[in-house]
Amino acid sequence: MTVKTAFPPASSLRALVAKIPGWGWQVGIAFAIYLIVSQLILAAYPEASPRLRFSLDPIITASVAIQIHVIGAISSFMIGLILLCAPKGFRLHKALGWTWVVSMAVTAISSFFITGLMGNNYSPIHALSAWTMIGLPFGIAAVRRRDIKKHRHTMTGMFVGAMVIAGLFSFLPGRLMWEIFFTA
């Protein structure tokens, strides 16, 4: 007689976990950290109870550097989604790819004109901007060498790190994107 349990066998769990790509783990861990930090911030400031609403006033009143940064980041995110979801090698991939590289560079460069997270000093997130400026030429060089695997890995890594994970943390309570979507 076989006993059925509510949980699948450990071997099938291992197989399932092995199928999750590295970037999936990174995004999952970043999301968990985001939830914990958000809860800590909201617990420290109970008057900042979030309610969903949308206002462009925080961007309109922000500095030009922040406006350029936000436009570059949104452009990079949207173009990156298209590039990741569309079939590889489709007709517009090269043109959109170059547009994505330029918008990523604009986003990274504009970040060096933005301080405030840690007073008037650069924050650790600026290291990601520096890494992006180093990584973009490596991704371009890889595709020129016809090393598509390296190109895909480099560009996907930049998208996940700079657009998804850093973008997620731009929605922490008290930051600009939080103000756009969640403050009164």
8 A C-beta contact, residue 64 and residue 72? no
C-alpha atoms less than 13 angstroms from C-alpha of 42 in its C-beta half-sphere: 15
Q: Using CA atoms, how far apart are residues 73 and 105, in angstroms rounded to an integer?
A: 10
Q: Write the CB contacts of 53 (distance below 8 Å, at least 6 apart in sequence).
A: 181, 182, 183, 184
8 A C-beta contact, residue 170 and residue 76? no
pLDDT by residue (tens digit) across 54-67? Answer: 889 999 999 999 99
Output the six-digit token pair for 147: 């090393």
pLDDT band at 11 (very low <50, low <70, confident <90, very high): low
User: What is the full DSSP assignment across 9-66?
Assistant: -HHHHHHHHHTS-HHHHHHHHHHHHHHHHHHHHHHH-TT--------SHHHHTS-HHH
Q: Using CA atoms, how far apart are residues 161 and 158, in angstroms rounded to an integer?
A: 5
Task: Determine the pLDDT at residue 48.
Answer: 72
Task: Determine the pLDDT at residue 172.
Answer: 86
Task: Determine the pLDDT at residue 46.
Answer: 79
pLDDT by residue (tens digit) across 41-57? Answer: 888 887 777 788 888 99
pLDDT by residue (tens digit) across 96-130? Answer: 999 999 999 999 999 999 887 666 777 778 888 89
pLDDT by residue (tens digit) across 149-174? Answer: 999 999 999 999 889 988 898 888 88
Phi-psi region of 146 (alpha: psi -120 to 50; beta: other; left: phi over 0): left
